[in-house]
Structure 1
Amino acid sequence: MYLINAIYFNGDWKYQFSANDTREGDFNSPDKTVKTEYMNRRGDMDYLQSNGITGALLPYVDEQFAFIGLLPEEGTTPRDLINNLSALDLLNLIKNKKEKEIELSIPKFESSYEDSLKDELYNLGMNIPFTPGSADFSKMSESGKDDLFISDVRHKTYIKVDEKGTEAAAVTSVVMPQSMPIELPRLSFDRPFIYGIIDVTTGIPLFIGIMENPVFK
């Protein structure tokens, strides 16, 4: 028996990147430097800066949603940042954005992730549904017996960011049995960063992750 919750997002950039400006460059991942393709664009953009954090907000066509990229200050990892960044901090960061002419360079990337959430849910106190004999899903059984229990909760995500836009999907299943002629301030996502898809009105992230290596495997 499966209970599946899914979300799918496919958004085109309001201001698309030109494929002609895509160039190969180095990305400094935690364990090694890798070659990857960087999308490049210059112009006025929503620039984010606060407490050592720098970033950009790139709107999609409908402008309700935007891609957010955040670079922690040197010496701080994205994981350190995300663990100390509250929802209010994120909302204030977005509210205090400034339009600024910059040179942006961000890698194209695809990323996927899959994991079991059973242990996390169990540690949060949700243990009865996973325990045979204690779980009671008898109303879901034609026989009325209480022999049903949750054996696993699987979560899988996928995101693709390129010159056209962003495509992202997430599924949770509960299982029972690029150089510029004019010098501009440069924002280059050439080291691990936080990324996400944000509802600009509420500041709520629909999708959020850490990019440590843009070379998709």
Structure 2
Amino acid sequence: MPIDLTAASSDSRRELAVRLKSSPSPLFVQYADSTCWGFRPSKETMERNIIYLWICAFAVVHGNQETLPQPPISDKLPSLIKMNNDFAFHLYKKLVEMPDYQSKNIFFSPFSVSMALSELSLGAGGETRKQLLSGIGYNSSVFSTEEMHRMFHSLLEEIDQRTGVDIDVGSALYVSDKLKLLPEFLEKIKEFYHSDGFTVDFSVKETVDKINTYVKDKTHGKIDRAVDDLESDTLMFLLTYIFFQGKWDMSFDPSKTHQSTFHVDAETTVPVQMMYKYASLKVFYDDELLSKVLCLDYDDSFSMFLAVPDIHTFFEAKTIKDLEKAISRQHIEKWRTSVNKRKVSIYVPKLSLKTSYSLNDILKGLGMADMFTDNANFTGMSEENIFISKAMHKATLDIDEKGTTAAAVTTASFTPYSYNPLLFLRFDNPFMIFITDQKNGNILFFGKVVNPEEKQ
């Protein structure tokens, strides 16, 4: 049942969960994601609860001294986008270091994860808070924590007003009826992150069903099970979700989709349904990365970038591992301004991916370890002692032919050595995917396709 987020419950511990979501439909691209965090009581005191620390800034003016007007929060938004996108690459590179994921498809929403961590920082104190802020790349010399939360709120407000695509981003907080959260934390998480709030009994199976139903509804059925079970001593469960569905500005003709081969590696191939189009499209050749880049737009609002290493270069052929080691936020920024329309043939495989990750070790590897131990300090959330027992992330991606049409413009581009790598772009080798916001460059989704037929 919904609760007033200015009040809360009573006492216990464990589990916070956040979930990411994403999933595209027939050339509809749908993305769904959910991230889950579970909070439990401390092993030492059994009275440890998540806490939240928030900082108030005060300005004091002496005598007749004048204060300069502060710039609007929107002026600092590009700095938040850079912070989020840098975090996206740090998270990705830590993810691919994990043995279980090195040769697998990757797909996740870094925006959903960074938003969840920022929410957690609202209730964190001491070293836990420092680790959270450092882990997401916060720099106090650029903007204050209050400004950071206000900018996340501004992003969510702006996303809510988008037309032409179906996008939904938000969070939810499930609180045990045994835990009492501080009113200040509840007010802030509601104010800045539009969080829904619910009082629940984690000892009954119906609570898991309620959470899964909520996520299924928010992700339009793309993620139908956010959590399998929760410990009975769970005190709180936090999740963030994101759903995106967009039609291509220029759709693919289904009659031209054909059976083809995808080269997983030098020895392995798998059959795929390959979509084909010859049209004036946004493309770019990245000489630094020796990679071909394709940009496909959704209703002048969001874009998907696909990047594949050029295996036909005169130089040493690059692999997906070379690309993912070298790529950074700055390359995505360059692509946004460098892609030009030209007549080109493209081959893009139809995709349907599902991914699931435990974030505990990944976030520890990024310096955010204390929140998973008895050292966790979440005194800004509750007077009781709690820590995060589990952090999970799930995402889905579906791509196929359907979409809308748009006018095309032809331009010319030039590359050295009379070699023209952009006569065609064939994504039949492992490639990377980015879903970005055209207005501000925020990376909503991030991944790589190693094997389109992989079922995770």
TM-score norm. by structure 2 comes to 0.40
Say whether the 8 Å CA contact 1:91–1:202 is kept in structure 2: no
AA aligned opposite 2:429: R
Say whether the 8 Å CA contact 1:69–1:194 is kept in structure 2: yes
Give the corresponding residue for 1:99: 341
Determine the C-alpha separation between the residues in 2 that align with 1:196 and 1:50.
16
Match of 1:135 among 365, 376, 379: 376
Q: Which has the higher strand share?
A: 1
The answer to whether 1:71 aligns with 2:283 is no
SS of 2:364 mapped into structure 1: helix
Among all aligned residue pairs of Structure 1 and Structure 2, give the percentage whose two residues are the same amino acid: 30
Give the corresponding residue for 1:191: 429
AA aligned opposite 1:33: T
Give the corresponding residue for 1:6: 241
Give the corresponding residue for 2:398: 160
Give the corresponding residue for 1:121: 363
TM-score norm. by structure 1 comes to 0.82
CA 1:207–1:79: 2 relative to 1, 3 Å: farther
Determine the C-alpha separation between the residues in 2 that align with 1:17 and 1:41.
6
SS of 2:388 mapped into structure 1: coil
Instruction: Mark the structure with the bigger radius of gyration.
Output: 2
Give the corresponding residue for 2:384: 145
Determine the C-alpha separation between the residues in 2 that align with 1:92 and 1:123.
29
Displacement of 1:129 after TM fit? 1.7
Determine the C-alpha separation between the residues in 2 that align with 1:208 and 1:135.
29
Match of 1:18 among 253, 267, 288: 253
**RMSD of the TM alignment (CA)?**
1.9
Say whether the 8 Å CA contact 1:53–1:72 is kept in structure 2: yes
The answer to whether 1:36 aligns with 2:278 is no
Say whether the 8 Å CA contact 1:109–1:216 is kept in structure 2: no
Q: String of CA shifts for 1:68-88, please: whole Å, max 9, x gaps.
A: 111112232223212211212
Determine the C-alpha separation between the residues in 2 that align with 1:50 and 1:127.
37
Say whether the 8 Å CA contact 1:43–1:103 is kept in structure 2: yes
AA aligned opposite 1:151: S
Displacement of 1:138 after TM fit? 5.4
Is there any run of 5+ residues in structure 2 with no aligned partner, and where?
1-235, 312-316, 404-421
CA 1:198–1:138: 2 relative to 1, 3 Å: closer
Determine the C-alpha separation between the residues in 1 that align with 2:264 and 2:283.
24
Displacement of 1:19 after TM fit? 1.0
The answer to whether 1:48 aligns with 2:287 is no
Give the corresponding residue for 1:181: none
SS of 2:435 mapped into structure 1: strand
Determine the C-alpha separation between the residues in 1 that align with 2:368 and 2:423.
49
Provide the aligned length of Structure 1 versus Structure 2.
194
AA aligned opposite 1:189: F
SS of 2:255 mapped into structure 1: helix
The answer to whether 1:88 aligns with 2:327 is no
Say whether the 8 Å CA contact 2:286–2:293 is kept in structure 1: no
Moved more, 205-214 or 122-131: 122-131
Displacement of 1:201 after TM fit? 3.5
Q: Which has the higher helix share?
A: 2
SS of 2:335 mapped into structure 1: helix
Q: String of CA shifts for 1:89-126, please: whole Å, max 9, x gaps.
A: 22112211121101111000111211111112223332
